[in-house]
């Protein structure tokens, strides 16, 4: 595939994912995970203007609103923005006037407006230029504003299991891949299969539909970048930011098998000036 076709298919995969799967609902487990992942406080976003880049189905915008956000601007290049609007209006009908939806790529965004908080969660790695995506997000921050960033770790376990599978799955029609997610989503709950499937990037979430959604997300997008902690930190330093790594510890199986670190990184990043 050419660079443009890879980008187009990646955008289409997210549009399919968020419009064809389960609607957003009050997921307390994911909300608690988000709060733990970024060490958020009860009123983390109270009175703040928030930009959610790559808003998907609106899940993180929902979390920001629950944590007191004054307003939310949702930015997404795909048709997922339609699902985002439906979900947020349904869950936060009283805050409709505080919501704004923009269909645009982060790589094309001009920082004409500054925000107190910017969410870039699981998004930069699916762009053709993750470094530029991070810079664009930081440019949107007000002085002392905070960027919430989450991205994939580049490690040996994923290179041996996750990457080879993706060479096949990213070429499949989205409808077919969505149907196929039933298989690993069910098998991952069997004790003997849990370890190898978890190591291959298969979600172990409680609800079946959420496991399917997570699996599709991981195996559908042709553009997916993986980074080392050192690489990410070099970007933050280059962009004159201070940062705190807030990632969750490795899950049980990765600790048991001695795998390095977490499979993903979470950072809270602030501008120095």
Instruction: Identify whether residues 146 and 241 lie together within a single domain.
Output: yes
Contact 214, 197 (CB under 8 A): no
DSSP 153: B
User: What integer pLDDT is reported at residue 2 of this predicted model?
Assistant: 62
Q: Which two tokens stand for residue 26?
A: 């009050």
Same-domain status, 137 and 168: no
More confident residue, 260 or 196: 196
Same domain for 229 and 193: no
pLDDT for the residue 260: 44
Cα–Cα distance measured from residue 149 to residue 217, given in angstroms and rounded to the nearest whole number: 18
Please check the confidence at residue 101 and state whether its pLDDT lies above 50. Answer: yes
Please state, as a whole number, how many other Cβ atoms lie within 10 Å of the Cβ of residue 238.
11
Q: How far is CA 236 from its chain centroid?
A: 19
Give ∠ CA 39-115-145 in degrees, rounded to 5: 45
Q: How far apart are CA 110 and CA 102, in angstroms?
A: 12
Asked if residue 62 lies in contact with residue 87, where contact means CB atoms within 8 angstroms, the answer is: yes
Domain identity same for 61 and 84: yes
pLDDT, residue 13, reads 93
Residue 191 and residue 113 share a domain: no
3-state secondary structure of 241: strand
Inter-axis angle of helices 80-91 and 3-20, to 10 degrees? 30
pLDDT at 235 over 90: yes
- Regarding whether 202 and 266 lie in a shared domain, the answer is no
CA distance 270 to 146: 5
Find the radius of gyration of the CA atoms of the chain.
18
Q: What is the pLDDT of residues 102-122, one digit of tens each?
A: 999 999 998 889 999 999 999
- Cα–Cα separations (whole angstroms), residue 210 to 25, 89, 91, 132: 11, 21, 18, 30
Q: How confident is the model at residue 271 (pLDDT cuts 50, 70, 90)?
A: confident
My answer on whether 233 and 110 are in the same domain is yes
Query: Which of the two residues, 188 and 253, has the higher pLDDT score?
Result: 188
CATH for 87: 3.40.50.150
What's the residue count for the chain? 273
Q: What is the pTM of this model?
A: 0.89
Domain of residue 168 covers 156-220
Q: Which of 159, 218, 145 is nearest to 184 (CA)?
A: 218
188 and 227 both lie in a single domain: no
Q: What is the mean pLDDT of residues 1-14?
A: 83
> Does the pLDDT of residue 84 top 50, yes or no?
yes
CA distances from 183 to 77, 199, 200, 217, 264 (A): 30, 16, 14, 15, 24
C-alpha span between 208 and 185 (Å, rounded): 6
Are 208 and 233 in a shared domain?
no
């Amino acid at each position: 595939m050419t660079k443009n076709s890879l980008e187009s298919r990646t955008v289409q995969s997210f549009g399919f994912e968020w419009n064809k799967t389960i609607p957003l609902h009050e997921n307390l487990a994911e909300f608690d995970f988000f709060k733990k992942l970024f060490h958020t406080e009860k009123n983390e976003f109270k009175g703040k203007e928030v930009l959610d880049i790559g808003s998907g189905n609106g899940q993180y915008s929902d979390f920001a609103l629950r944590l007191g956000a004054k307003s939310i601007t949702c930015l997404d290049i795909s048709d997922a923005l339609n699902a985002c609007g439906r979900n947020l209006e349904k869950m936060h009908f009283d805050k409709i006037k505080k919501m704004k939806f923009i269909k645009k790529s982060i790589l094309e965004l001009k920082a004409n407006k500054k925000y107190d908080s910017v969410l870039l969660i699981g998004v930069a790695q699916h762009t053709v230029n993750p470094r530029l995506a991070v810079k664009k997000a930081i440019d949107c921050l007000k002085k002392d504003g905070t960027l919430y960033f989450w991205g994939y770790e580049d490690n040996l376990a994923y290179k041996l299991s996750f990457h080879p599978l993706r060479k096949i799955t990213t070429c499949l029609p989205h409808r077919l891949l969505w149907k196929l997610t039933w298989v690993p989503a069910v098998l991952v709950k069997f004790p003997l299969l849990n370890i190898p499937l978890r190591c291959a990037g298969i979600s172990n979430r409680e609800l079946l539909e959420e496991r399917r959604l997570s699996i599709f997300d991981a195996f559908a997008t042709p553009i997916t970048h993986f980074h080392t902690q050192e690489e990410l930190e070099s970007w933050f330093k280059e962009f004159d930011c201070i940062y705190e790594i807030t990632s969750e510890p490795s899950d049980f199986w990765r600790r048991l098998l001695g795998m390095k670190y977490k499979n993903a990184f979470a950072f809270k990043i602030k501008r120095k000036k």
